[in-house]
Structure 1
Amino acid sequence: MSSTTTSTSSRHRKTLQLVLVVVAALVLVGNFVLKSLGDDVAPAEGAEGSALATLETLTVQDAADDAGYDRESDFGTAWQDVDDNGCDTRNDMLQRDLEDFELSAGDTCQVASGTLDDPYTGATIEFERGPRSGDVQIDHVVALKNAWITGAADWDKDKRVQIANDPLNLVASDGPANMGKGAKDAAQWLPDNQAYRCEYVARQIAVKAKYGLWVTPAERDAMTDVLTTCPSEPLPAS
């Protein structure tokens, strides 16, 4: 190989090395700029009337002690006919949330069958009254025990019965998912169906705002994390 060829190859290598160094430097500068911009970006803010904006109005404090809590004596037996329409709350909610429901023969209230597009799991559940009635349960979106430790312990019995039967705080759901949720708040449990999480958290906030319940710091943070992905999520009305 001639000295001219060797010199040319050497220059090419040096040029390539220089290009690589410049590219690496640009990448580092770009990452720094993006990080700086990210640090300056304010968290999403909810529009007026949105769940996120309403969350910011709720009192934030630690949960109270659950001493003395008793579901039936504190919130009444399940289920009652608080709206005096002749149907208990469970059947009211089944009629609201099931598709193609049918009533038991000769009954104007009792739901015998229907189809639930379960919001918690995303599954379709065929409801049939009988041994497998528990496949579909009516969930208290803000669990009654959670309500107790975030303000309801100080209420009178009538107000507790009201929240226990308020359609705003109720949703038909997959039985096992409801049992798995138990009394957990949003920091401890969210629906597996991620497409429903914004609506789920918005409903919890609507209930807490309506009844003057507070949220814990962890609960507030978890709700914020969900709603920053949907800052315009509205509060449900019922």
Structure 2
Amino acid sequence: MAVAVAVAVSWLWDRTGPESGTVPGSPARTEVHALLAQVTVMEERRKVPGYQRGCGPGEGCVFGSAWTDDHPGAGGRDGCDTRNNVLARDLVSPIFRVGSNDCVVTSGLLDDPYTGVRVEFRRSEADAVHIDHIYPLAAAWDLGAAAWPTELRRQFANDITYNLVAVGGQANLDKRDHTPAEWLPPAPGYRCWFAGRYLTVAVRYSLPITAADHRALATAAESCP
């Protein structure tokens, strides 16, 4: 059900490349505008009953077990859970637990893509760094994922290529399941990057955005080089 993105996405993980003003490693404005032209727009987000992320007794577990390695996407079934896959990719100089085959990340440094602040990660204080779904799971459920087959929802929840990124814990708590009309990265220099990422996920999974989200992302695109 996922569709190919029709624009180049080489900038997806480049947050340290050439800068334009205050926008580090961001896509070109034309790329974000192309995504804005492709994405489906609906008037508003309406709550769809049945969203339960938890997998405990009596819970819906609608996107599968959190950070499961059992999914068909990149990093799936490689022996490492999704959280560690993302930490290994996003942290600067990650240190791995001895004997874990470079899987379990014990420490490292994160340049938070939402605030621009460098955060120290230690496994003993794991709440300092969260793994965020750029397009939130609850929003995806309301805007179309409730009708997806289970395997596609599990793939979406563990999509390390497009939808997952390591961020500072407080920024993730502030973001919650908000969409761009309600929340954008507090560091203005990262909003272009975020807009490109959010729209890439929406287009790839044929998920709509609201009219208010479209306006917010169009405004963020104006900061792009």
2:90 aligned with 1:97: yes
Question: Helix, strand or coil: the match of 2:93?
Answer: strand
Question: Helix, strand or coil: the match of 2:41?
Answer: coil
Q: Distance in 2 between matches of 1:78 and 1:213?
A: 21
Higher helix share: 1
- Say if 1:135 and 1:174, in contact at 8 Å, map to a contact too: yes
The total of aligned residue pairs comes to 184
Question: Helix, strand or coil: the match of 2:179?
Answer: coil
Judged with a 3 Å threshold, the aligned counterparts in structure 2 of structure 1 residues 46 and 136 are, in CA distance, closer, same or farther, namely closer
| Equivalence for 1:64 | 46
Query: How far apart are residue 190 of structure 1 and its match?
Result: 0.7
Give 1:218's match in structure 2, choosing from 190, 209, 212.
212
| Equivalence for 2:110 | 116
Whichever of the two has the greater Rg, that structure is 1
Alignment RMSD, CA only? 1.4
Query: How far apart are residue 75 of structure 1 and its match?
Result: 0.4
Q: Distance in 2 between matches of 1:104 and 1:193?
A: 33
Query: Aligned partner of 1:140: which letter?
Result: H
| Equivalence for 2:155 | 162
Give 2:62's match in structure 1, choosing from 46, 64, 74.
74
Query: How far apart are residue 58 of structure 1 and its match?
Result: 1.3
Percent of pairs identical after alignment?
Answer: 41
Please give the per-residue CA displacement for 1:160-214, whole angstroms capped at 9, x wherever unaligned.
Answer: 1111000110000000110110000000001111111111111010000000000
**TM-score between the two structures when normalised by the length of structure 2:** 0.79
Higher strand share: 2
Query: How far apart are residue 120 of structure 1 and its match?
Result: 1.0
Query: Aligned partner of 1:156: which letter?
Result: P
Which blocks of at least 5 consecutive residues in structure 2 are unaligned?
A: 1-27, 55-60
- Say if 1:146 and 1:184, in contact at 8 Å, map to a contact too: yes
Question: Helix, strand or coil: the match of 1:71?
Answer: coil
| Equivalence for 2:33 | 52
Query: Aligned partner of 1:221: which letter?
Result: R
Q: Distance in 2 between matches of 1:195 and 1:229?
A: 8
Question: Helix, strand or coil: the match of 1:56?
Answer: helix
Query: Residues 1-238 of structure 1 correspond to what in structure 2 (within 5 A)?
Result: 47=30, 50-61=31-42, 62-72=44-54, 73-81=61-69, 82=71, 83-108=76-101, 109-130=103-124, 132-167=125-160, 168-230=162-224
Question: Helix, strand or coil: the match of 2:132?
Answer: strand
Query: How far apart are residue 46 of structure 1 and its match?
Result: 5.2
Query: How far apart are residue 216 of structure 1 and its match?
Result: 0.5
Q: Which has the higher contact order (CA 8 A, sep 6+)?
A: 2
Question: Helix, strand or coil: the match of 1:166?
Answer: coil
- Say if 1:66 and 1:145, in contact at 8 Å, map to a contact too: no
Query: How far apart are residue 51 of structure 1 and its match?
Result: 2.0
Question: Helix, strand or coil: the match of 1:105?
Answer: coil
Runs of 4 or more consecutive aligned structure 1 residues displaced over 4 Å after TM superposition: none
